[in-house]
Structure 1
């Protein structure tokens, strides 16, 4: 039974050893600088950020983000069926078509409600 887990154990030991070695080398040879205001300001795409710490995003930002994640995850469920559709047969094709239709109905509902409008 130990032989079954031996590759995983060796992988974990080597990964921990390499990570520990790099961390130790960084502590020993790394450049130490003092933090200051210029180093702690946020940077985005090479330009100073206009957003300050007290900035709050609107609810529409979070709603669109959640909808994106929801539809993205639902589409991911279609991939395994698409890869093995021949072995699953016609029933899986019918279920996939039903799933896509329900997904489109949900998308149209969200679109009609105005949840995708950026305000």
Structure 2
């Protein structure tokens, strides 16, 4: 099934997670009031329900931002070892940037980046 070391590590991890959650429940301050259950919007009391519809364009814009942001994070490890990679590393990151640029051009052409 598993080695004794694996089982020990597994149970130690489970114990540490449970211990951390238990200590947090015991030590954390507790306050029960109706205001904690309300939606919070920049310190301004909300009017109406918090389950309101919004344009799907805002969601699409946010997803595109996150997608390109996460893909840009992949450039940081490359930048730390750029001298060790040589020409092959440069070509691979140029292909990566080409695909990023094509994705951005496609989103731009489809009008996903327009704020209407």
The two structures have a TM-score, normalised by structure 1, of 0.70
Kindly tell me the number of residue pairs found equivalent between the two proteins: 114
Q: Does 1:57 align with 2:59?
A: no
Matches within 5 A, 1:8-87: 13-26=15-28, 30-31=30-31, 33=32, 35-36=33-34, 38-50=35-47, 52-87=49-84
What do residues 56-100 of structure 1 show as CA deviations (whole Å, max 9, x unaligned)? 121101211221122122212222111111222211111111221
Structure 1: state its 5+ residue gaps. Answer: none
Q: 1:89: which partner in 2?
A: 86
Asked if 1 retains the 8 angstrom alpha-carbon contact of 2:39 and 2:50, the reply is no
Superposed CA RMSD in Å reads 2.9
Distance 1:53 1:25 in 2: 31
Please state how far the C-alpha of 1:108 moved relative to its aligned partner.
2.3
Please state how far the C-alpha of 1:109 moved relative to its aligned partner.
2.5
